[in-house]
Structure 1
Amino acid sequence: MIALRTLISPNRPWIHLIYLGMFFFGWLYLPPTRLEVITGLASMAGFIALYVFAMRRMDWTLYPAAAFTTLLGLLLIPHTLGGGVYFVFAAAMLGRLDWTPRLWTAMALLALTSITAVWIYAPTPLFALAMAGLAAMAAGGSMIAARHERQADQAEETRSRAAREAAEAERQRIARDLHDLLGQTLSTVTLKAEIAERLMSQDGERARTELQAIQTISRQALADMREAVIGLRGRKLGDAMRESVQRLADAGVAAELEGEEDTDDRLSDSASTALAMVTREAVTNIIRHANASRAKLGFFRQDDAVRLMIRDNGRGGADPNGGGLSGLRARLEGLGGALEVGPVNRDEGTLLTARLPDQAESEGQSQ
């Protein structure tokens, strides 16, 4: 059905082939011989093939195609006035091209040739003027149709590009979420597995506890992965900070919370989730790379912004453009926030600061 609508659209050139019926009007005026019928139908079949070929390419081939069509009209019009319809088609074919000096020249030559031929063989001057006017209308209509067709193609390309960009954005979102959600979880599983292995021969009960913790963490990781894929996240910052303190403690890093406790009261789900992701990524980096013994996680409100600050006393030198942090920076910037990492000097530890607009402050001002 869609293909049929496209085929008969006035912006497409194929519907205009119905005007070939005008060719047979000349036979009504002057009945043809058998040879003229065969010649006329054969030339029409050849023209249709040429017309379809040139209109599908829509390039320089329209020039020789229009010249051949004009020649066909010149050969047929002495035998039938219907041959003048080929001048109309030649004008329509040229009208599909962009208007350039070369096209203006081709149009002028076509007009001079067709008007002269029709004037010579037309029974009345009115018929010649009518044919010239029809050719001019065909050229103008073809030009307008070509412009509409190009606009429709550009709109379709815009829609396709938007769909591709949306798909790519969703792919990147899933990739970021899987990294943010699973990176620290898998690190914890690895750490606890190593602890359980060391305790297996020394303290079986403690080793069993660590193995049970691994099972719990693995189930949570599976749930996190499913949520990341379907986009139904909603992790709370407060929960992430408390869990991170326990994870740091399990890894031998003394950690404490500071700042305000009502972390989620004035945060939207998207903001709370984004800051929770930052917390988990920062803690994962501390456990993996910082070689730290102490860490602090704090949530503060200052002026019209909320700030999440995570610092450690490790080796420092964190890469602010690393894969995980760059993804989190993009997430925060999408919410009107920012992510800063420093100092970057070695042996000075690392301070990570995530900032977002204070939504409660904004709502109070709007009221």
Structure 2
Amino acid sequence: MDIRHLRAMTPGCGESAFFDNAGSALHTEHVTRTVVDHLMLEARIGGYAAEDREFERIEAVYGSVARLLNARPEEIALTDGATRAWDMAFYSIAFRPGDRILTSRSEYPSNGLAFLQAKQRHGVSVEPIPDDEHGQVDLDALAAMLAEGGVRLIAVNHVPTYDGLVQPAAGIGALARRAGALYLLDACQSAGQLPLDVREIGCHLLSAAGRKYLRGPRGTGFLYVDRELVTQLEPPQLDLHSATWTGPDTFEIRPDARRFETWERSIAGLLGLGAAVDEALALGLDPIRARIDTVAERLRAGLSGLDGVRVRDRGAVRSGIVTFTKEGRDAQHLVDGLRAAEVSTSLSRPSGAKFDDRSQKPAEVVRASAHYYNTDEEIDRLLDVVAKL
């Protein structure tokens, strides 16, 4: 992996030491140009004509996302973000009173709110799965909960927004299939930094964002739906793209995953997403994963060596997300100080995960999320600023 070349392709690398890739990573010049070129085409000939002209390129995005996941193009829906993708999947499930939803203790707040709404609407129960000694989903505890019966859905995040860990997604999938439970994996933080194979993971549904580790535009995302399941799920909303009005009181819903799309969307954004996915595929997800691991572990080691700094990451397997605190300094102070020194990080609030009931859980942490284009010099710069603040 030619890091110098990859940084040269990324104009933002010249602006700051960028460690906010789990928030919204830096685009390559090619991704930006793809979006801008289509907007300029729309400006010249109009949005409808521009979409018609780029029909084949738009269709190719489905194939690219499918290759990213080892899925089929008809199992892919393109959306305006990870939350929309996840919501379209979750709200299409016909819950019944007494159904059980099992989830991770580190679940994202948006997903947790949807679970609670389903509890109020449908009378389901929402049950966090205990963590194991590493802080990730305890597979033995999950097996015991499934053995009790009544589980309609297992919905977990692949990589929490804090903690730095990677959930045992394939192990969860094996248990879900054995128990006959639906399995929804939120891969918004893992798509683009970890290899994702939906066949190996065993999930029925997977949602992801374009803006994070995939380095795509904001306002883009995608949903995978197992083709054996798709016709059993009715989208929470329909329009003339997802269904056909066949008579005064009849309609037919599309038979593929595009039933979860809407007609109006940013074509420029979707083409940019396709460009970003193609770049990740060209580099290879295994080399990307290896490089991110190297950068993140060096960062963890450096932070651990600073006086008063505590790395907060857990997990038997860790991601590119590195979280830490410093004694006597609140996390926002550290984030602001780093930003002033042109080092981009973000603030993460474990306190927002209400299913995580650890007594020693920090309220706020600094999140420094590494990518393959980060360098040793940038790590040293971050460490120097944290040491001096």
- TM-score, normalization by structure 2: 0.21
- TM-score, normalization by structure 1: 0.22
Larger gyration radius, structure 1 or structure 2: 1
Name the structure with the higher strand share: 2
Name the structure with the higher helix share: 1
If asked which structure has higher relative contact order (CA below 8 Å, sep 6+), I would say 2
